[in-house]
Amino acid sequence: MTLHTSYYGGLRKLNLPGATLVGISRTIPPYITEAYPNIQHELLMAPSSSLLSLYKNKGMTPDHYKKVYLNQLSVSRVLPLAREWAGMSTTVVLLCYEVPTAFCHRHILAEALRKYGIPITEYGV
């Protein structure tokens, strides 16, 4: 059906009955796992802890972060998952922490998936 991205903080505002929710961050906030016990967690799409730490401590530019993140992605493992989700009969939403306007790995991931022909958009934008 459709593959989307969004963020944890805005999840309660979205009207997503029956959607498959997938956390693509290192961790999922406890309030999300309590409210959505069926949420899946896919660490293959999360940036490494060291990459996050380096970026958050201003140790690299967004362009450098993007290059390192894309190099860390295991395309041979990520693409089959993304294709499976894109072909599901329900909406699938890939989630992380950052608001839609902030620099974030989910936007980098979405751009990469589109280059491989997988349609994906930010939900609600």
pLDDT class of 125 with cuts at 50, 70, 90: low
How many domains is the chain built from? Answer: 1
* Span 13-50, pLDDT tens digits: 887 888 999 999 999 999 999 999 999 999 999 999 99
CATH code: domain of residue 10: 3.40.1010
Collapsing DSSP to helix, strand or coil, 59 comes out as: coil
Q: Note the pLDDT of residue 123.
A: 86
What are the distances in angstroms from CA 56 to CA 14, 21, 72, 74, 118? Answer: 28, 26, 17, 23, 29
In this predicted model, what pLDDT tens digit does every residue of 61-89 receive, in sequence order?
A: 999 999 999 999 988 889 999 999 888 88
Domain that holds residue 108: 2-122
